[in-house]
């Protein structure tokens, strides 16, 4: 990998982790779209998407795709990430990027992810989908379920 290619993949992850921003145009042609970090809103309960080398470099190998969701204090949620093409890892972070919970493999023994969380503070949260150990790319489905108490 050429030095500028390495920097164009490493710099956004470093900047995100430190809270700094920069136009992606200065990072080389592979990221020359001029876009800033702007996760997609998770508007539907279930989506199908693709993880690729065009997504966010994780800094530890592989790439990640982020989604924002508004959650309320007291919400109990599950997040399912399922892929036939890579070993999923799903992370729930608060609006400041602090990890609330993370799951690699679900209880069914597969490499799909199933995360449970009880939300203690209302606000915007980030759901991150990536491959375990940076080991893959491909199509996946992501499902957010809000568990409701029995009436």
pLDDT in tens, 25-59: 333 333 434 457 778 888 778 899 999 998 989 88
**pLDDT tens readout for residues 94-140:** 989 999 999 988 777 889 999 999 999 999 999 999 998 877 899 99
Interatomic CA distance for residues 52 and 119, integer angstroms: 30
pLDDT at position 150: 58
pLDDT at position 133: 80
What CATH number does the domain located at 39-147 have?
Answer: 2.60.120.380
Q: Where are the domains of the chain?
A: 1-36, 39-147
Interatomic CA distance for residues 105 and 16, integer angstroms: 26
pLDDT at position 151: 53
In sequence order, the 6+-apart residues with CB closer than 8 A to the CB of 101 are 91, 92, 115, 116, 117
Q: CA 58, 62, 67: angle at the middle one, nearest 5? A: 60
**pLDDT tens readout for residues 64-102:** 999 999 999 999 999 999 999 999 999 999 989 999 999
Please give the backbone phi and psi of residue 5, each rounded to the nearest 5 degrees, phi first.
Answer: -65, -40
Interatomic CA distance for residues 121 and 119, integer angstroms: 6
């Amino acid at each position: 990998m050429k030095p500028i290619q390495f920097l164009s993949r490493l710099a956004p992850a470093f900047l995100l982790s430190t809270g700094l921003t920069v136009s992606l145009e200065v990072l080389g042609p592979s990221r020359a779209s001029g876009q800033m970090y702007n996760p997609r809103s998770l508007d539907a309960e279930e989506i199908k998407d693709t993880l690729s080398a065009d997504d966010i470099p994780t800094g530890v190998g592989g790439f990640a795709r982020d989604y924002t969701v508004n959650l309320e204090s007291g919400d109990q949620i599950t997040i399912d990430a399922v892929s036939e093409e890579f070993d999923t890892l799903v992370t729930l972070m608060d609006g400041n990027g602090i990890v609330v919970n993370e799951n690699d493999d679900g209880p069914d023994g597969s490499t799909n992810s199933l995360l449970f969380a009880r939300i203690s503070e209302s606000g915007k949260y980030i759901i991150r989908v990536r491959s375990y150990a940076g080991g893959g790319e491909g199509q996946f489905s992501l499902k957010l379920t809000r568990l409701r108490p029995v009436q």
